[in-house]
Amino acid sequence: MRNRFLSAFLPLIPLLLTASAYAATAEEPVPAGNPPALSDTDKAALRAQAEQHSAAGLKAMTASDNDSNQAVEAALEMGQALKLYQKLGDIDAVCETRANIYWCKKRMNLDEVQKYVASKGKDASATFASASEAADEKIPLAEADAYFARAEKFAKDNVDKTLLISAQYLFVAERFAGSAVAVKAQKISLETQQKWVQQQKAEIEADKNRIRDTRFTKPPQVTGNGTKSTVPDAAAAATALTAIKALYKDDYAKKRPVQKCRFARKLVDDADKSKDDAANYYVMLSEAQRLVLEGEDYDFYLTVTDTIAANFTSVDAAAVKRQQLSQNKSKPVAAAILKLLETPTDPGANTVAGKMFGVERGKWELALPMLALSNEPALKKVAEMELGDPKDPTEQSLTGEAWYLLAKKAGMQAEKDGMNVRALFWYSKAVDGLKGVNKDKAQKRVEELDKLVPLTVVDYNNLTANQWTKLKAITTVAVDARTARTSSGYVLKNGVKVRVVPHPTDTWKITTEFYGEMTATWKGIQPQKRKNSNSDVSYYIGWGGKYSLGSMAFQVGDSANIQEAGILEGQGVIYAMPYADSWSFSSASGIIRLKLCAVSDDD
């Protein structure tokens, strides 16, 4: 996306650095006199609001590469911040904010701006007019040195914010055109803009490489404890293995591939608690390595092998992988991974392994960079579409259609099912944002795919309402947002697992003093506009962890541990609730249903 920003921004540099003459007046750059007396509490509250508006403005300012209206959004947010900084009497913040508003105005087509602002209502028009007036305010030449000094201070305090530094010096260059200060500011602004352009180019290249890094083109992500242990001798390993087999007798009795892979993960988790016993630690990891290779969980196999090499001397991970995979090369995916260890960009091997990781296993983050290297043009194209992270509903529907067409041509049923799941995922994301014929087509595709995709391969985090209805449940629970936590009435026994599946389209209404009323699905607050503002509320939430404000969270029994939707473990009654994090709700209403479903051995 940044490359579109650069292509739009580069032609503006000469314009931005063309000095404009302004007549000097006696008008002050900031409000005259002392601000009203404010308590420390009032000041803190005003500053917090100002900084939130400013942060939203800066976010919109950098996002204006994809949408010119974001420059207007930035000016509106900064206009709100400007008023608050003026109340606080913070001259530096007022001047910095005014310069940013001025920069935003330089990027706007005024005819389009008037239409856009008018469409947002009287409040937005008034705010924009006020911000525009502040940005264009004439300043006496006597203030030039003071403004230049502020720009210098800002640059010193914010060395990494090259775009904003450029905006500060640009403001000085144009407001005091013809002066010695303006000449200096113009030179620095140009140099800073050129530096910023180079940074953006570097970031574009880094982003491209990062997005397309595969499991095989980047170094192992596993690290050791700092001190490696010696691999145990045969006698010590045999003694440890006998004890481990006795301890995990029931797990060793399970023979299906999925059971072996689950047992392997259990061994790795338990091995972390046995690091002080080198023999036990090594054997548990080695057994996990064997089991996942037999169960063909190749991603986890590679991770376990790297973990062994990171923690034990004389273990060459690359050599071990080559030796063990060579013994399994009759299996297509093992052979493909063996090839990728030597040639990470091999198109054919990336196709085979990428299909297994994504289409069969649903590990799309792992699969997509590999499929982007595929030797199958249609598969390569749709992977590239996904790596572009389509946000526009039309682009999302096109991505869904690409998977839909691939599924039609797929020979194997498992491959067809996996592609249909991905098509359904993208069409479901797109449908609400489409209109007319495109919306009708997307709705029909969703209905068709809903019937085609078997419940055995559903993505529980992205179910359709129809899929949820078809799920067989132990019980169904209505979770009321008005209740601190809702009891499911189901008592989970120790060692037993149950899957909780919230309804995908049910919603809660949640009201906070600052944001106003917002809509939340079980995943939390959906991107929407803040109360009395134009910025996206999602920018302000979810900082504290993986839970978004209003998402459905779970507790089992008296445990203080919060669990997310999925497979729950523990002992006691299962409770569900909207997650509040550090924010408090003024009020909440609505019901989101959930189903408790039995967990099979294959889950």
**pLDDT tens digits, one per residue of 147-174:** 899 888 888 888 888 878 888 888 888 8
Q: Please indicate whether residue 336 or residue 62 has the higher confidence score (pLDDT).
A: 336
Three state DSSP letters for 152-207: HHHHHHCCCCHHHHHHHHHHHHHHCCCCHHHHHHHHHHHHHHHHHHHHHHHHHHHH
Q: Please indicate whether residue 185 or residue 575 has the higher confidence score (pLDDT).
A: 575
* Model confidence at 319: pLDDT above 70: yes
Angle at 569 between CA 566 and CA 573, to 5 degrees: 100
pLDDT at 397: 95
DSSP β-bridge partners for residue 519: 509
Residue 397, amino acid: S
Q: Tell me: the pLDDT tens digits for 452-478? A: 888 776 778 888 888 898 899 999 999
Q: How confident is the model at residue 111 (pLDDT cuts 50, 70, 90)?
A: low
* Model confidence at 394: pLDDT above 90: yes
**Are the C-beta atoms of 312 and 320 separated by less than 8 Å?**
no
Q: How confident is the model at residue 123 (pLDDT cuts 50, 70, 90)?
A: confident
Q: How confident is the model at residue 26 (pLDDT cuts 50, 70, 90)?
A: very low
Q: How far apart are CA 264 and CA 289, in angstroms?
A: 7
Q: How far is CA 398 from the centre of its chain?
A: 22
Q: Quick one: which of 336, 337, 345, 310 has its CA closest to 321?
A: 337
**Are the C-beta atoms of 216 and 203 separated by less than 8 Å?**
no
Q: How far apart are CA 404 and CA 559, in angstroms?
A: 44
State the average pLDDT for the chain. Answer: 82
| Mean pLDDT confidence for 562-581 | 88
pLDDT at 205: 61
* Model confidence at 87: pLDDT above 80: yes
| Mean pLDDT confidence for 524-541 | 51
| Mean pLDDT confidence for 507-513 | 82
Q: Please indicate whether residue 454 or residue 201 has the higher confidence score (pLDDT).
A: 454
Q: What torsion do the CA atoms of 390, 392, 395, 397 make, to the nearest 10 degrees?
A: 110
Q: How many CB atoms lie within 10 A of CB 542?
A: 16
Q: How confident is the model at residue 405 (pLDDT cuts 50, 70, 90)?
A: very high
Q: How many CB atoms lie within 10 A of CB 151?
A: 27
The shares of helix, strand and coil residues in the chain, as percent rounded to the nearest 5, are 60, 10, 30
- Burial string for 129-142 (b: 16+ CB within 10 Å, else e) reads ebbbebbebebebe
Q: How confident is the model at residue 545 (pLDDT cuts 50, 70, 90)?
A: very low
Q: How far apart are CA 593 and CA 506, in angstroms?
A: 7
| Mean pLDDT confidence for 371-379 | 94
pLDDT at 177: 85
Note the maximum CA span of the chain.
92
| Mean pLDDT confidence for 439-444 | 94
* Model confidence at 192: pLDDT above 80: yes
pLDDT at 528: 53
pLDDT at 210: 55
What token pair was written down for 511? Answer: 């009201």
Q: How confident is the model at residue 582 (pLDDT cuts 50, 70, 90)?
A: very low
The pTM assigned to this predicted structure is 0.59
pLDDT at 105: 75
pLDDT at 239: 96
| Mean pLDDT confidence for 201-209 | 61
**Are the C-beta atoms of 216 and 321 separated by less than 8 Å?**
no
- Burial string for 19-29 (b: 16+ CB within 10 Å, else e) reads beebeeeeeeb
Q: Please indicate whether residue 238 or residue 484 has the higher confidence score (pLDDT).
A: 238
pLDDT at 117: 66
Q: How far apart are CA 594 and CA 596, in angstroms?
A: 7
* Model confidence at 488: pLDDT above 90: yes
- 444: three-class secondary structure by DSSP: helix
pLDDT at 317: 93
pLDDT at 378: 94
CB contact set of 302 (below 8 Å; sequence gap of 6+)? 215, 220, 321, 337
* Model confidence at 270: pLDDT above 80: yes
Q: How confident is the model at residue 208 (pLDDT cuts 50, 70, 90)?
A: low
pLDDT at 22: 31
| Mean pLDDT confidence for 321-339 | 94
Q: How far apart are CA 564 and CA 562, in angstroms?
A: 7
Q: Tell me: the pLDDT tens digits for 141-154? A: 888 888 899 888 88
Angle at 327 between CA 321 and CA 331, to 5 degrees: 95
* Model confidence at 350: pLDDT above 90: yes
Q: How far apart are CA 300 and CA 215, in angstroms?
A: 11
pLDDT at 76: 82
CB contact set of 165 (below 8 Å; sequence gap of 6+)? 151, 154, 155, 158, 192
pLDDT at 313: 93
- The answer to which of 41-55, 262-276, 516-530 has the lowest mean pLDDT is 516-530
Output DSSP code: residue 583: -
Q: How far apart are CA 205 and CA 193, in angstroms?
A: 18
Count of helix runs (H) and strand runs (E) in the chain? 24, 11
- Give the N- to C-terminal CA distance of the chain in Å, as an integer: 38
